[in-house]
Amino acid sequence: MDKKIKYSFVLAVFIGFSSLITVQAQGDTDYGASFTFEVTKELNRFFRLNVDEEVRLVDNNRYKFDRSSTTLGVDYEIIRSKMRTGVFYSFLYLYNSDYLFEARHRYFFHVSYKEEVGSFTLSWRGRFQSTVRDENRGAYKVNPKYILRNRIQAEYNIWKSRWVPFLSCELANPLNDSRYDLNRIRIQGGTEYRLSRYTYLNAFLRYDTNFESGDHNRLILGVGYRIKM
């Protein structure tokens, strides 16, 4: 495919995605921002250490603060450059729906697989997570809360370019709350830029459609910095 055609294709996809997000966000939507910092370290041929910090801001409360999360985990490569599995722990500090600050503990396990198809990298990630909530800071009928999340993602590899645009869709299904079959759909599009051999900068636009009562939909603009060691 001609280089100009490739760039035109990527631009068209981005414009289409942005237009879809804008239309979706016309309803009951909160607006916010996400800032992430991530470090990955190859321990050996199979194991990799992951450390991640995220801060989310939102416009629906007087503090403009949604949550912070600190995540630590290890993953294992099952099939070289294709399939991985891992276990993780996250400490969450957030402003909950009862207008109180709350600490939560999240444990999750995931499996991911990716395949190269021409200029595209297609991937799937399945994640089971358990979140323990503080019942002194909120009235929870279900605790811990179990969620199954499935994400599909497409990355477009532009030849001789440091830019890698991507588009993903994730479904979140509660496993121990019979009120909901599906509690969130997350659509995200953006790009990652390689600054050097070991450092990367990314930016994205994300729209969350939430189905749980009391949760608004959210439009988030995010930026992140990643280090590979």
| Residue with the two structure tokens 């966000």 | 25
pTM of the model: 0.86
Q: What is the pLDDT of residues 156-202, one digit of tens each?
A: 999 889 999 999 999 999 999 777 788 899 999 999 999 999 999 99
Catalogue all structural domains in the chain, each as residue range(s) with its CATH number.
Answer: 3-228 (2.40.160.40)
How distant is the alpha carbon of residue 153 from its chain centre? 11
Omega of the bond leading into 174 within 30 degrees of 0 (cis): no
* Nearest Cα residue to 35 out of 172, 227, 228, 226: 226
Secondary structure element (H or E) that encloses residue 18, with its range: helix 3-24
pLDDT of residue 216: 82
pLDDT of residue 215: 76
pLDDT of residue 28: 76
pLDDT of residue 187: 94
Q: Which residues of the chain have pLDDT under 70?
A: 1-27, 213-214
